[in-house]
Each structure stands twice: as structure tokens, then as C-alpha cells.
Amino acid sequence: MDLTPARATVRAAKLEPVRSDALEYVAFSFADFYSVNHASVARALSVTLGDDHLATEAVDEAMARAYQRWDHVRGLESPGGWVYTVGLNWARSLWRRSLRSMSIRDRESESDIAAVQCSDLDLDRALRNLSLDQRAVVVCRHLIGYSELETARVLGIRPGTVKSRLNRALTGLRSSLADTDEIGRRDGR
Amino acid sequence: MTDVDRLHRHLEERARIATVEATPLASIVGRAKQRDRRRRAAIGAFGVAAVGGLAVGALWMGGSDDKEVRSVDSLPGTVETTPSLLPADSTPAATTMSAPGTGGESAFAAAIEASGLLTSPSADDAAQATDNDLYRDGDVGMQISSVGNSVSLRRCRDSESATCGTGWAYVTEVAGGGEVHGGLLGEASPVNLQLQLLDERYFVASESAPDAQAPSRAWLIDAVSGQAGVLGWRDEPTTLNSPAQMLLLCEESYNSFATHCAVVRGPDAADGGWQFLPTEGGLPRVVDARDGTIRPLAVPDDVVAGLPVAQHGTGRIWIGTDPDGDRLGLAYSDDGGASWNEVALPQQISATSEELATSLLPYGDDLLEIAADGDRVAVARSWGGDNNTVYVSDDAGTSWTTAASEPGGNGVHLYVLADGRLVVMGSIDTRPNDLFASTGSDWAELDNVDFQFADPESLSDKRFSVNGAGVAMIHSFMYPCDGAYPCPGYTMDEAERATLDTIDVSTDLRNWSTIQIPNP
């Protein structure tokens, strides 16, 4: 399932299947869950991580873990959210290890490569300056469409933490964009 | 177009253009089965090692999949009778801070040992607690003492091949990483466990009880030996912070005959001042600072879970109440709890109990924070209020003024320093992130604490440990980019690895000294 630009459509892709009644829930198989959620979780992770390949790896790893524990995961309030968070944590761990062997210059040049495709480069750069935790909250709230409480439950943090991280993230974005505007003015852009 | 609209549009564009491969389901299933096989093999290897008597402590501060293993010198169950709190080459000889209890042989430590309250975790418990596949960072913060001993709480995580058996675990580390121990706690509520520092060595993990009828639980943890014991609490473990005392009130739990309950730092004891006080007759006891006697503390009938107690050297005891069951209140006693005087809280802070009961999450620290010094008292909503305003009274609550500064974060904690100044700490969850101190005796005049020695760019991620005796600022837990990657100017280890490097300590927030914590 593709995420489309339409906000309403994105909200519908809440990374969890619709369970309208108990019968549907019982029939809810991993294969169904996988076909519905793989792409949307991968795209959400891609935005969070800023790395398509890593996002694909992360969602595959998280889906494999979901498969192993499907009896447990399918009973969760948001199986898709669980996969998103597991994938995020897996990527975070992998990232830490791989970055240890990379120079700062290498890391920055890789990040720049990932940025060139989108239309709002300033905002994309500002977004990448946020911490991973902050980006996760931004994605949960403003891309996936979770409420504060849902975001807290999915990420395993307090609602207050969601608020504070989101607040710091938005403040950081505004600050970065203001700096960019200032540089643009000075450069005559 | 608003900022948020612009953000939405960008996020949606990024999601749309992401190139994500559609991995076949069969590949996912194959990966899962491979993980299962690896897991079984790993468990088998660990079992052989355990039978061989090898003590293994996983490096708990590394990434979750990093299986770096740090060997320890002693079995987790081994207790040092004369623990060395710092490695020999790290004794803070250059420091000026007088840190009670650093000798490791305080009366407090001796009383704890004699009580038999603490028991060593089994080898299996220790292995579980330090297994990153079973437990992860508990997200309740880590507490570090002024000499670098630390305790970290960890919560059960889903594991493909094993169950945790208990919801919470802990890991302790002696300054410099010389020893790592782990143990299991109980099935505390996942939303309201917190960690409190008692002294350089002992910590309390406590579950706050939003419902006064339900006894909450707490555990005393020795960071040096890794031992722990269950404390039975009357309700919310109540911390009394003052230069003279730090008190945790409790009584026997409803369904046991536990006698180990109150932990008190007594005033002016020559050995560093710690005393351990088992309860007597089920009543919590308090050191009455007026005459130094120890007696049961009677509390008003309307004291409820989560409400704090504060006492300063004058002997006056302040306590939060819930009069009529529908609002927050405040009372004080000058006679060790025999009689109480009710005080009206500022209107803005006086949330109803119903509001608190129906708040999103029933944190025990959802209520009130108090710091007091005689007639001078400061109050703030600890959590859940609309703002972080601190209200101050110089006349025992007859009139209130608003403090000049409002700490950031989503929680407020108040302390009184030994010199009588008020310290206001803002926190994000349980992690301190903002610190103010009154400029003098006027508690309403608060200034940001000036850390002249610290890199200003890093202060947003500073970590503090505060109690009445002073403040410790932990440098090693600063994350320059808040965990973001890349972090220009910092190596990966500097930006991310949680190791102790230095701790700046101060008893007055003016004169600071640095304790060097050597890393292996």
C-alpha cells in the first residue's frame, strides 16, 4: 500500500489493520498483516531514518520478529506500530555500530546524497538535524497520524515525553529554517 | 501555508518517493526461522558457560544487539564487606566536596547489612538482568551518585525465545565500570517506576501508587554489591530532602510482616549521618529535628498516596493532603506530627483529586512538590499541571508569590540546599534538564545555575543529581546532538556512548570541584 500525498489517506494507513469485529480479528493472519503493512511501515521508517535501504532492512527484520511472535503481536493494540518501533530500534542499533567505523565527513556526505531528491531541501535538511527520537515522534504524529497517546504507546514513552520531544523538534525545525532564510538573504537568494 | 502544513507536505512527499523494496513473504519467514536457530544455539552456549561457573555481565550501556561482554572480578552474588566505592586511582583527593558516606562503612551501610534486608541476586537473575535481548533501558532515567556509582532500571522487552519472568530488572555499576551487577525486581507498573538516590551507594526504585488503597512497592538497591531488597511502603515512598535528613516513609505491606521500611538520614551523625530505621508497630518513623529523637510519624487522615513530606532543620514537617477527597491541600506540624495546621495552596496549583484521577496516566508524582525551611515553603505541581510555576511563601502559606523563573520540562522538583537556598529542577520525565537556584534568602528570585566550566552547547542535555546536600552534574551523559547522527565535531563514542568521565559536584552551586572517573 502506497502512502499518497493526501492527508486523509495517510491517516487511514495507521499501520494497523481495521478490526471491525471479533471474527475478522480471529481470521487476521500474518500474511494479511504483512501485505497490508509492509510498504507503509517501510515508508514511515524511511522518512524517520532518511535511508530507504536501511528502512527496508529494518522493516524486514521487524516483520521477521513479528512473525516469530505473531500470537502475541497480533493481539497488540497496534501491531503495525510495534513493527515500526522494533524496526526503528533495530536500525538505531545497527546504525550505531556501523557509524563507529565511519568518519564524520563520510557520514555527512552520505546524508547529503539522501537529501537531493525532494522539493523542500531546506526542510529536509532541518529534519535530518533532529535526533532520531524526535524524528520518530514527528513521523508518528504528522505522517502516520497517531494521537499523542497512540504515539506514546507505540514508542513506549510517556505522553509527556511525546509532547516535549515534539515541541523540541518543531522548535528545532523553525530555528534551522530561520537560519537558512538568513543565510539565503545574505547570499542574495 | 503554515509551518505544520509545510511539514505534512514534506513528510508525505518523502514517504511517497521512498524506494522501498517489496520483500517476498517467504524471505521474511526464512529470516525468522534463521533467527530462531541462532537463538537456540546462543542459549545452549550460555547454559554451558553458566554451569562452568562463569559470571558474565553484559555491557548494559551498549546497543541492544551489541553483545560486548565485560568480565567481572566477582560473582554477582559476592558481597564485598568493605566495598571500595572508587577505584584506588580515582579517589577524589582534589575535590573539596564533603560527601557523607563515601567511606563505605557508615552506620547506614552497617545497619543495612545487619538487617538482612538485601539479598544477592542469583547467577540466573544476574544473567537475565544484563541480557539485552530480555531487558532494555527502562526509560525512567539512571541515577548516578556523586562518586559515580550508578543504578539503571531496565524493563522487560519482547524476546523471541525467552520470557523475562519479571517486569523490571536493574543493573548497577561501580564508578569507573570496575564492577557490573544485575538483578531482578518485581512486576511494577510500567508507567510509574522511578529511581531515587539515597547516597553514594544506595538507591531506591519505587513504584508510586495512584490509588491509596493499593500498596505500592519499592526496592532498595546497593550499587556496590548489586544486592537488593524489597521495601514495603505505606503508600508513595516519600522523600524528605533537607540538608539534615533524607527520609523515605513506609510501613509494613498489607500482606507481609516485613519490618524493613524506613530509611532515614539522621542529623549530624559523626560517621556521615546515615541511619537505617526498621519500622516499629507498622508506623513510619521520623527523626524529629528539634531534639534528634526518633519517633513514629503520625500523619493526617487525609494524606494520600503521592503527596510529599518535607522537613528542614527547624523540625517543622510539611505534608501534602487531600482534604475532603476532592482537592489538594497542605499542612504542617511543629510537634512531630501530633497536631497539624492546614494551609491553603495557591488557587492555580490546587487541582482537584478528580482531575488528577482522570489524568492521562496516574503517575504517583502527579501531585505536589514541596520544599520547606521553617516558615518558608515552596510548592509546585510536580506533574500534570498546566505550567511549571513555582509558588513561594515566607509566612507558612498565608500568602503566596510566584517565583521569577519557570523551569522547562514536564516535571518540577524542589530542594533546599544546606545554605538555605531553594533549588528548582525541571525534568523531562525523570531526567533532570533544567536547574535554577534562588539568589539568596528570597526564594522567589531564581536564577539559572551558571555552569561556567561546561560547554554551553551541551547544557541542554546535562544530567544532574540533586539532593539537599548538593548537586552533582554528570558530564558523561551529555548527548551533544541529542542522539542524532551524524553529530559534527564529535566522535561516535563521544556523542553516544554512555560512560562516566567526570562529575562536577557542588554543595553551594558556586564552588565546584571535579571528580575524575577513569574509564577502562
pLDDT digits (tens, 9 = 90+) for A33-46: 888 889 899 999 99
Number of A:B CB contacts under 8 A? Answer: 177
- Pairing label, strands B422-428, B411-416: antiparallel
Residues of A in contact with B160 (CB under 8 A): 65, 68-69
pLDDT in the model for residue B32: 73
Tally the C-alpha atoms within 13 A of residue A183's C-alpha that lie toward its C-beta: 7
Distance from the A185 Cα atom to the nearest Cα atom in chain B, whole angstroms: 19
CB contact under 8 A, A55 and B160: no
Q: Model confidence at A140, in pLDDT bands (50, 70, 90)?
A: very high
Q: Model confidence at A164, in pLDDT bands (50, 70, 90)?
A: confident
The three three-digit cell numbers of residue B493, written as one number = 563514542
Mutate to test the interface with A, among B4, B13, B20 (most CBs of A within 10 A): B20
Nearest to B278 by CA among B120, B468, B114, B121: B114
Mutate to test the interface with B, among A89, A103, A131 (most CBs of B within 10 A): A131
pLDDT in the model for residue A1: 29
Do residues B366 and B392 touch, judged by C-beta distance below 8 A?
A: no
pLDDT in the model for residue B352: 55
pLDDT in the model for residue A23: 30
**Contact with chain A for residue B27, Cβ under 8 A:** yes
pLDDT in the model for residue B431: 55
pLDDT in the model for residue B394: 93
Q: What are phi and psi of B327, to 5 degrees?
A: -165, 165
Distance from the A46 Cα atom to the nearest Cα atom in chain B, whole angstroms: 7
Average predicted confidence (pLDDT) for chain A: 71
SS (H, E, C) B173-219: ECHHHCCEEEEECCCCCCCCEEEEECCCCEEEEEECCCCCCCCCEEE
Residue A111 has pLDDT above 50, yes or no: no
Cα B462–B467–B469 angle (5° rounding)?
115
Strand-pairing partners, residue B246, are B241
Strand-pairing partners, residue B248, are B239, B263
Write the residue in B25, B64, B484 that is nearest to A130 by C-beta: B484
Distance from the A188 Cα atom to the nearest Cα atom in chain B, whole angstroms: 23
**Contact with chain A for residue B37, Cβ under 8 A:** no
Q: What strand order describes the sheet that includes B309-311?
A: B309-311, B317-321, B329-333, B341-343
Residues of B in contact with A160 (CB under 8 A): 383, 410-411, 428-429
Of residues A152 and A28, more confidence is placed in: A152
pLDDT in the model for residue A32: 83
Strand-pairing partners, residue B184, are B169
Write the residue in B4, B23, B65 that is nearest to A60 by C-beta: B23
Highest mean pLDDT among A71-80, A95-104, B96-105, B178-187 belongs to B178-187
What is the C-alpha to C-alpha distance for residues A184 and B499, in angstroms, rounded to an integer?
Answer: 40
Low-confidence spans in chain B with pLDDT less than 50: 39-105, 209-215, 232-285, 287, 289, 292, 294, 305-306, 355-366, 430, 455-461, 476-479, 483, 493, 496-500, 518-520
B-contacting residues of A 31-90, CB under 8 Å?
Answer: 31, 34-35, 38-39, 42-44, 46-47, 52, 55-56, 59-61, 63-65, 67-69, 72, 89-90
CB burial class (10 A; 0-12, 13-18, 19+) of residue B519?
exposed
Do residues A57 and A87 touch, judged by C-beta distance below 8 A?
A: no
A-contacting residues of B 367-406, CB under 8 Å?
Answer: 383
pLDDT in the model for residue B88: 23
Task: Please measure the distance between the N-terminal and C-terminal CA atoms of chain B and give it in whole angstroms.
Answer: 54
pLDDT in the model for residue B517: 53
pLDDT in the model for residue B372: 85
Q: What is the pTM of this model?
A: 0.42
What is the H or E stretch that residue A53 is in?
helix A52-68
